[in-house]
Amino acid sequence: MKKKTTETLIVLLILLTLLPQIYAYIYPPHINPETAPEEETPSISILLAHALDDLTAQNFTETLKLINNTNHLHIPQNYKYILTRTTELLRQLTDTLKQIKETLRETETLIEYGKLKDAKAKLNETELLLKDANYTLKEVENAVNQLVQTLKLSSNPFKEKINETKNLLNQYTQTYLNLKQTVDEVLSKIEQGTLIQPNLTISTNTTKTPVGSTIKIHGNLTASNKTLPNTTITIYINEQPYKTVQTNENGKFETELKLPTIYIPTITIYATYKPRETEPYIPATSNTIKIKLIYQTPTITILNAPEKIRPFKNYTIEGEIQLNNTPLANWPINITINQKNIKTKTSSQGYFKYTINITTEPPTHIINIQISTQPQKTISSATAKITIPIEYINPQITVKTPKIIITGIKFKIQGTVKTEDGPVKNAAITIKIGSKIITTNTNKDGAFTAKIVLPLSTLSRKITVTIFLAPEEFWINTKTVKIQVTIINPITIIAPLIPILIPVTNTLKTKRKEEAKIVIEKEIIETVTPTAARKKEVKAKHPIVALYWETLEKIHDKIGVYPQPSQTLREYLSQIKERIKSIAEKFEKLTILTEKALYAEKISKQDEKLAKELHENIIEELKQ
């Protein structure tokens, strides 16, 4: 049971560990595009089907949009030519069908207005377009078949769509034939006299008139030299129905037309007549009269405008408005500055003046000023536009920094910021040295000072000090100054000396020791006397020497004879031998061992033990 729980836990742990990998497998952040598999069915089939759908639904704009989007399709390089040819033919077919639809609609309108000659001309044009469309459709069909075969697409949906397109073209052809038949029938009926083509003529009392004035229009509607009384005539101005009038008993009409207040050079006027179904007439359209409109356009002249604008400074824009070289006095004008509208008037001499002061940062770096006048009667509006760039100025910054900075010691970075207008006040100064950032501001004289201490943890190196200036005024550009300085850390700079100093000190110590040893050994060898053996260095050479000296001290206490500096160990032994009879033998042995300790290279542990025993025995005996 316990084993099972452990196993389950292990499996769970493994699964938990693998969870991110499983997630990454399901949702990889990306795949290698170069090794990514290609789609089995190229997507051109979907797009082409949709394009043909739109074409048969006569959504020509959508069809053209889809054709344009084929540029974004992924097509293997080998098949690009076939696709390009197909889409180009399809584009051509779409354009032609669009034109056919348009010409058929125009023909219908022309027939509606009784312009049979023009309708016939349009029909001829349509006939050519239909021939062209039929030819292009055959080419499209061939190209689509080729594409289907090359890309191994299913041909059925395309066959269906091509047939639908053929049907559409047939529909257009049928409409064309119907319209042609209508025109031919009407013309034939006119020839036969069963239908009469009326004649509608109009005239005006003037061909030149001021804008917004009223003109008189006279008209006459006749059919086969007969007048058509009480008939409704529609008068069109610039292709738009403007007024309807009735013919009198003589088939004539007269009306006053208040022309619209539009300031264009000419307007066109014509009239139409549409017979009732019971009447044996066809519709008629009159002659077109062009009326020249008289109006005057004032001229706005900017006399004075700044080339550049600096915010918070006053600038004057001056100008004059004239009409045929005559000043327009007290004329209302609109001044628009960056979408802010100001209404004012010209002076009695036709001058205008406006003081501009920019206080807020505009979204673009330019100021758009538009001066316009309102139209009044026969004086049209006038507009003058000027664009003035905002002057962004570069500040001058001078910085003083020490070339060498020592860590742990306070140093100063000083500087001044100015422009040609004077010092830059309250500008934010950010100083960055390594990871340390200090911020300060310029004073009223544009000067700044930053006192900085670099921590002792900063390592010695060359470093770039970055000083970033951000002025309060948006028209003064920001500026960055970079200065190279050398940081010296007095603590860490000695680090390279440590590996040099350690062996040097060691070598010197060893050398000194060796020298001392040589001197001592020389001394010992040359004059090994009990006095010399008393020296600390000699005592330290071997514990036996120390034991000898301790024994000698005790002997001296007993017999009161101390070795002379000139005496050797043996000479001293000979001198006192008689006086220390009882311990003479033991002291002799100790003397020999001491000599051995002083001269010999090596001394055995046994000798040391023996010396210790001799020393203890002598001391013991001396006490008794």
Partner 1 sequence: MKKAKIITLTLTFSTIFMLTIAYMMPSTDNYNPENPFWNGLKNLKNITNATQITSTTQLKQIIDPKHTAILILGPEKPFTPQETQTIKEILEKGATILVADDFGQANTLLKQLQIQCKFTQHLLVDPVFYYKNRKLPKIFHIKNTTWTKNVEELTLNYATTLNITSTEIEILANSSEYSYIDINMNDQWDQGEPKGSQPILAQTRIGKGNLILLSDPSIFINSMINKSDNTQLLKNIAKGKTVYLDLSHYKTTPHTKLKTAIQTTLNFIYVPEAKYTLVAATTIITLYATRKTKEKTEKEEVDEIEEVLKKHPNWNRKILEKLKEWRESFGTNRTTQNT
Residues engaged in binding partner 1 (CB under 8 A) = 23, 26-34, 36-39, 43, 46-47, 69, 72-74, 430, 432, 435, 437, 459-461, 466, 468, 470, 478, 480, 489, 492-493, 495-500, 502-503
Q: Token pair of 48, please?
A: 């082409």
With tokens 């042995």, the residue in question is 589
- Considering the complex, state which of residue 507 and residue 582 has its C-beta at the smaller distance from partner 1: 507
Q: Which 3 state secondary structure label does DSSP give 613? A: helix
Q: Nearest distance from residue 363's CB to partner 1, in Å? A: 12
Q: What is the largest CA-CA distance in the chain?
A: 191
- Considering the complex, state which of residue 39 and residue 239 has its C-beta at the smaller distance from partner 1: 39
Q: Nearest distance from residue 534's CB to partner 1, in Å? A: 32
What residues form DSSP beta bridges with 234?
244, 272
CB-based contacts of 324: which residues, under 8 Å, 6+ apart?
296
- Considering the complex, state which of residue 128 and residue 495 has its C-beta at the smaller distance from partner 1: 495
- Considering the complex, state which of residue 50 and residue 101 has its C-beta at the smaller distance from partner 1: 50
Q: Nearest distance from residue 39's CB to partner 1, in Å? A: 5
Q: Nearest distance from residue 471's CB to partner 1, in Å? A: 13
Classify residue 190 by burial, with Cβ atoms within 10 Å: 0-12, 13-18, 19+: middle
**CA atoms within a 13 Å half-sphere pointing along the CA-CB vector of 276:** 6
Q: Which 3 state secondary structure label does DSSP give 424? A: coil
- Considering the complex, state which of residue 23 and residue 81 has its C-beta at the smaller distance from partner 1: 23
Sort strands 340-345 and 447-452 into parallel, antiparallel or unpaired. unpaired
- Considering the complex, state which of residue 39 and residue 420 has its C-beta at the smaller distance from partner 1: 39
Q: Nearest distance from residue 495's CB to partner 1, in Å? A: 5
- Considering the complex, state which of residue 461 and residue 517 has its C-beta at the smaller distance from partner 1: 461
Q: Which 3 state secondary structure label does DSSP give 15? A: helix
Q: What are phi and psi of 109, to 5 degrees?
A: -65, -45
Q: From CA 100, how far away is CA 316, in angstroms rounded?
A: 59
- Considering the complex, state which of residue 119 and residue 148 has its C-beta at the smaller distance from partner 1: 148
- The distance from CA 518 to its chain's CA centroid, rounded to whole angstroms, is 81
- Considering the complex, state which of residue 28 and residue 560 has its C-beta at the smaller distance from partner 1: 28
- Considering the complex, state which of residue 220 and residue 458 has its C-beta at the smaller distance from partner 1: 458
The DSSP element (H or E) to which 576 belongs, if any, is: helix 569-576
Nearest CA to 261 among 378, 383, 372, 382?
A: 378
Q: Nearest distance from residue 451's CB to partner 1, in Å? A: 19
Q: Nearest distance from residue 468's CB to partner 1, in Å? A: 4
The DSSP element (H or E) to which 558 belongs, if any, is: helix 543-559
Q: Nearest distance from residue 27's CB to partner 1, in Å? A: 4
Instruction: Write the CA distances from 216 to 213, 229, 257, 264, 378, integer angstroms.
Output: 10, 20, 6, 20, 19
- Considering the complex, state which of residue 37 and residue 560 has its C-beta at the smaller distance from partner 1: 37
**Alpha helices for 27-79 (secondary structure H):** 44-56, 60-69
Contact 496, 530 (CB under 8 A): no
Q: Nearest distance from residue 308's CB to partner 1, in Å? A: 22
Nearest CA to 346 among 364, 362, 326, 367?
A: 326
Q: Nearest distance from residue 297's CB to partner 1, in Å? A: 35
Contact 253, 261 (CB under 8 A): no
Contact 570, 609 (CB under 8 A): no
Contact 198, 281 (CB under 8 A): yes
Q: Nearest distance from residue 33's CB to partner 1, in Å? A: 5
DSSP codes of every residue in 497-534:
GHHHHHHHHHHHHHHHHHHHHHHHHHHHHH---HHHHH
Q: Nearest distance from residue 497's CB to partner 1, in Å? A: 7
- Considering the complex, state which of residue 282 and residue 454 has its C-beta at the smaller distance from partner 1: 454
